[in-house]
Amino acid sequence: MATFTVNGQSVTVEKNQKLIRFLRDTLHLTSVKDGCSEGACGTCHVLIDGKPTKACIPQTDRLEGRTVLTVEGLSDWEKQVYTFAFGEAGAVQCGFCIPGMVISAKGLLDVNPDPTREEAAFAIRNNICRCTGYVKIIDGILLAAKIFREGKLPKASADDWKMGSRVHRLDVEEKVLGTGQYPDDVYVDGMCYGGAVRSRYARARVLSIDVSAAQALPGVVCVLTQKDIPGKVNVGHLKKDQPTLIGVGEITHYLGDSVALICARDQETLEAAKKLVKVEYEVLPAVHSPREAAAPDAPLVFEGDENNVQAYKHVSRGDADGAIKNAKYVLTQHFHTPWTEHAFLEPECCVALPLENGGVKLLTSDQSAHTTMHECAAMLGVDYDHCQVQNMLVGGGFGGKEDMSVQHHAALLAYVARVPVKVKLSRQESILVHPKRHSFDMDFTMGCDENGIIQGVKASVVSDTGAFASLGGPVLERACTHAAGPYAYENFEIEGRAYYTNNPPAGAFRGFGVTQTCFCTETLLNEMADLVGISPWEIRYRNAIRPGGVLPNGQIVDESTGLVETLEAIKPAYDEAVRSGDPVGIACAMKNAGVGVGIPDWGRCKLIVEDDGKVHIYSGASCIGQGLGTVLVQVVVTNTGLHRDDIVYERSNTWIAPDSGDTSGSRQTLVTGEATRRACEKLCAALEGKALRDLAGQEFYGEYLAKTDPLGADVPNPVSHVAYGYATQMCILDRETGRIKMLVAAHDVGKAVNPLSCEGQIEGGVVMSMGYALTEQYPIDDTCKPTARYGTLGLFRANQIPPEIQAIVVEKPGLKVAGGAIGIGEITSIPTAPAIADAYYRLDGQRRLTLPLENTPYAKKK
């Protein structure tokens, strides 16, 4: 027992427990976010006697007489200042890390009111942010310091909400103060806790499951096995190959497969009950790699399949062999890129509430409420009235929250037990369960003429898609279609195979396969520039696709094509680095916005004038931290002339908001943005001569189909995607230390709806891919078990980023929809690794063809 002070109130805690559990579960101080519960992520920072401390470390019994402060306990003035400063700086994306950042900032500013940039970065070194790249969070802390010193709030730099304004995001306050709800922040009366008993072996036949002891444990509400599933057992994003629960007699696919689900009155009972479920297995040989999967006598990950090939793609145009044969210069290399963990700060969580009609309502954190509804309704065997989904705040996704992880389990438990159930993955489960970025092995050959003009590229790639299909097929396809790079040449051929293994599944991850093949094309191009005797900048400028040009996939690109402008934007800094003899590396990229390749890609939006006389935006499109809600409000302001205060953004749900597809493929700004613009046209027509209040109860619907041609369509110039973003990134090293001293990233976004958000996306993407290039690891042992913990993934910290990260937003008009706006969520992460790799080559002459790069000051010592 201990008595201490929390936010000025004395509390007595009878039962010794971690401070985080008391603050969250008893006091419901939800600014204290639970990102890992193992002292690695920093989201649960509080001040103890004025010192920033992770609340997941101290036990309450050790706190006698101490003083604890959370964001809820800040003064009103402090709350105003941090909200303004973080909004003005653009510091908030998904927001899950932000209250912890505020606490660390307060810990600094209370003792050092005028910190340097380095001191601010050092103060948040124990707070991981996966979205922002830290640049704007540090800006926010320095601005807060200035406001505290001056004692008054300045005017916001943008006060109109038209497209193009650097407005504060609409959800800044709730994210800074921790009042906005992620699913884990939901506490309802009688709420129980659910979780899964997972397989002990990556590949084994389940012989028996005995749940009797777990069922008999006091406090256990129910224990479910496969026979309790009323509808379809399997879920799966495209292919239904992922069992909600593995049944007796079936073979497991990976260590994350679930054999039983438990619902208990409290979290301790849940964990105790999991240990009481007895499962007998017949252990079978596992498939560890694509090489093993491809062997003629390989065990089959899926019984009944002919082989372990999950997807095969062949993309060909022109005559790559002939072009390479006749080329003056030819280069061939083998490349390898690793698995990557998304490491979003918010672990997967879902709260399922029983509905009076016998169904369930799910409060989720995912990349599409409608996809979750389709998956869970089929598993429960119910219609959509009996399976409703509401998006809560989403604490980062990056592709890792597209598949079912906890939603189907929460739905099943609440549906059967008729109690509210929260299912949340531990950080270690999260590291195991959600699909990762694919590891790729790639062979590339490139031929150029004497001027460095690309004549042809031929490649073959192999990916490890792990235990389930997930989005392995589309990722492989995008890897292949974009492997040619953003260049104008005609002869291209690539063959790709994705193999099932018993490793954790791989699926969508920011960049969607292009991150991998871009590393090859751009590295070869840098090597080719040396062979030809021109600069890496020049070889790109000569080959760059320009408006009206034809990409290797046959598509004629439109006026919005801005690759050349991104090259020109970085030229001054590039020339300066070359002049001063600094090692500098460069790479370009293109990335589709929208799903493309003939797949129906709908954006949908409903504008409803409600009784409050305001326009409410309903779209079934998840905002996962990229700022979609702010974008849509800006679209409505721009296209209706209404004031921002007349507009309310509603988070995605399945019963009012029309399905606008997954937040994937950098598509929402373009596709849902255009649907919203179309709804605005109808609203404007109705508004003529009327006030908003006169339209109360009316709905205005807009939809947009991003129409494209299928891969291999028999047309001379297929439209594979409605739009592409283009980028050039550059890395300059410090000759003495070998560390990065500057990263410059120029991105063509068409029209920047909110330039502040665009910069934040660029900075965040670049720092995420610095990790991919230099430090991040996701090792898997010979039992197919990922061995990393959150603290060993190799994520960059605030005090480790380069002194300068320059985000250049290039606007190239020409796209005829969505006001010309092209999403940039993914492309920000694509060219970083090859740019960094080339900078190291310029430093030491070692051509590095695998990631993370070896022999850099950032590399793990062996």
Measured between alpha carbons, how far apart are the two ends of the chain, in Å? 46
CA distances, 616 to each of 97, 370, 619, 650, 680 (Å): 28, 19, 10, 7, 12
Of residues 172 and 642, the one with the C-beta less far from ligand FES: 172
What span, in angstroms and rounded, lies between the C-alpha atoms of 285 and 288? Answer: 9
At closest approach, how far in Å is the CB of 668 from ligand FES? Answer: 17
Q: Counting contacts by CB under 6 A, is residue 394 touching ligand FES?
A: no
The three-class DSSP label of residue 770 is helix
At closest approach, how far in Å is the CB of 367 from ligand FES? Answer: 15
Structure tokens, 392: 């809560």
What span, in angstroms and rounded, lies between the C-alpha atoms of 508 and 489? Answer: 28
Judge contact between 671 and 708, C-beta under 8 A: no
**Interacting span for ligand FES (CB under 6 A) from 91-99, 139-147, 476-484, 629-637:** 91-99
At closest approach, how far in Å is the CB of 425 from ligand FES? Answer: 17
Judge contact between 210 and 278, C-beta under 8 A: yes
Give the DSSP per-residue string, 161-178: -STT--PPPTTHHHHHHT
Structure tokens, 186: 């939901």
Of residues 504 and 625, the one with the C-beta less far from ligand FES: 625
- If one counts every other C-beta atom within 10 angstroms of the C-beta of residue 647, the result is 22
Beta-bridge partner residues of 335: 442
Site string for ligand FES, 290-329 (x = CB under 6 A): ----------------------------------------
Q: Tell me which of 20, 94, 529, 671 binds ligand FES, using CB under 6 A.
A: 94
**Interacting span for ligand FES (CB under 6 A) from 127-135, 433-441, 687-695, 842-850:** 127-135
- If one counts every other C-beta atom within 10 angstroms of the C-beta of residue 113, the result is 11
At closest approach, how far in Å is the CB of 764 from ligand FES? Answer: 8
CA distances, 630 to each of 156, 163, 436, 617, 634 (Å): 16, 10, 29, 11, 6
At closest approach, how far in Å is the CB of 363 from ligand FES? Answer: 19
Judge contact between 653 and 388, C-beta under 8 A: yes
CA proximity to 571, closest of 538, 546, 539: 538
Q: Is the sign of the CA dihedral 558, 563, 569, 571 positive or negative?
A: negative
**Interacting span for ligand FES (CB under 6 A) from 129-137, 294-302, 470-478, 792-800:** 129-137
Beta-bridge partner residues of 786: 780
Judge contact between 430 and 421, C-beta under 8 A: no
Of residues 170 and 320, the one with the C-beta less far from ligand FES: 170
Q: Counting contacts by CB under 6 A, is residue 129 touching ligand FES?
A: yes
**Interacting span for ligand FES (CB under 6 A) from 126-134, 190-198, 246-254, 371-379:** 126-134
**Interacting span for ligand FES (CB under 6 A) from 94-102, 407-415, 498-506, 641-649:** 94-102
At closest approach, how far in Å is the CB of 347 from ligand FES? Answer: 12
Torsion of CA 38, 44, 45, 46, to 10 degrees: -120
# binding residues, ligand FES (CB under 6 A): 13
Q: What is the DSSP letter of 399?
A: T
Of residues 130 and 510, the one with the C-beta less far from ligand FES: 130
Of residues 625 and 823, the one with the C-beta less far from ligand FES: 625
What span, in angstroms and rounded, lies between the C-alpha atoms of 857 and 368? Answer: 40
Q: Counting contacts by CB under 6 A, is residue 399 touching ligand FES?
A: no
What span, in angstroms and rounded, lies between the C-alpha atoms of 581 and 570? Answer: 17
Q: Tell me which of 115, 396, 473, 831 binds ligand FES, using CB under 6 A.
A: 396
What span, in angstroms and rounded, lies between the C-alpha atoms of 735 and 843? Answer: 7
Q: Counting contacts by CB under 6 A, is residue 345 touching ligand FES?
A: yes
**Interacting span for ligand FES (CB under 6 A) from 9-17, 123-131, 532-540, 592-600:** 123-131
At closest approach, how far in Å is the CB of 170 from ligand FES? Answer: 15
Of residues 94 and 683, the one with the C-beta less far from ligand FES: 94
Of residues 345 and 808, the one with the C-beta less far from ligand FES: 345
At closest approach, how far in Å is the CB of 594 from ligand FES? Answer: 24
Of residues 132 and 308, the one with the C-beta less far from ligand FES: 132
Q: What is the Rg, in whole angstroms, of the alpha carbon atoms belonging to the chain?
A: 26
CA distances, 809 to each of 580, 724, 755, 828 (Å): 26, 15, 7, 11
Q: Counting contacts by CB under 6 A, is residue 625 touching ligand FES?
A: yes
Of residues 86 and 492, the one with the C-beta less far from ligand FES: 86
Q: Tell me which of 132, 535, 553, 829 binds ligand FES, using CB under 6 A.
A: 132
What span, in angstroms and rounded, lies between the C-alpha atoms of 646 and 648? Answer: 7
Q: Tell me which of 4, 82, 96, 492 binds ligand FES, using CB under 6 A.
A: 96
At closest approach, how far in Å is the CB of 810 from ligand FES? Answer: 24
Q: Tell me which of 31, 37, 93, 340 binds ligand FES, using CB under 6 A.
A: 93
Structure tokens, 7: 């936010």
Q: Tell me which of 130, 288, 408, 422 binds ligand FES, using CB under 6 A.
A: 130
- If one counts every other C-beta atom within 10 angstroms of the C-beta of residue 448, the result is 28
Q: Counting contacts by CB under 6 A, is residue 829 touching ligand FES?
A: no
Site string for ligand FES, 769-788 (x = CB under 6 A): --------------------
**Interacting span for ligand FES (CB under 6 A) from 124-132, 220-228, 303-311, 361-369:** 124-132
The three-class DSSP label of residue 15 is coil
What span, in angstroms and rounded, lies between the C-alpha atoms of 264 and 423? Answer: 11
At closest approach, how far in Å is the CB of 94 from ligand FES? Answer: 3
Q: In degrees rounded to 5, what are phi and psi of residue 829? A: -100, 0
Give the DSSP per-residue string, 451-492: T--EEEEEEEEEEEEETS-TTHHHHHHHHHHTTT-SB---EE
Q: Counting contacts by CB under 6 A, is residue 97 touching ligand FES?
A: yes
Q: Counting contacts by CB under 6 A, is residue 165 touching ligand FES?
A: no
What span, in angstroms and rounded, lies between the C-alpha atoms of 38 and 327? Answer: 56
Judge contact between 256 and 467, C-beta under 8 A: yes
CA 227 to chain centroid, in Å, comes to 34
Of residues 399 and 474, the one with the C-beta less far from ligand FES: 399
Q: Counting contacts by CB under 6 A, is residue 131 touching ligand FES?
A: yes
Q: Counting contacts by CB under 6 A, is residue 768 touching ligand FES?
A: no
At closest approach, how far in Å is the CB of 394 from ligand FES? Answer: 9
**Interacting span for ligand FES (CB under 6 A) from 2-10, 89-97, 351-359, 703-711:** 89-97
Of residues 97 and 636, the one with the C-beta less far from ligand FES: 97
Contacting positions for ligand FES (CB under 6 A): 93-98, 129-132, 345, 396, 625
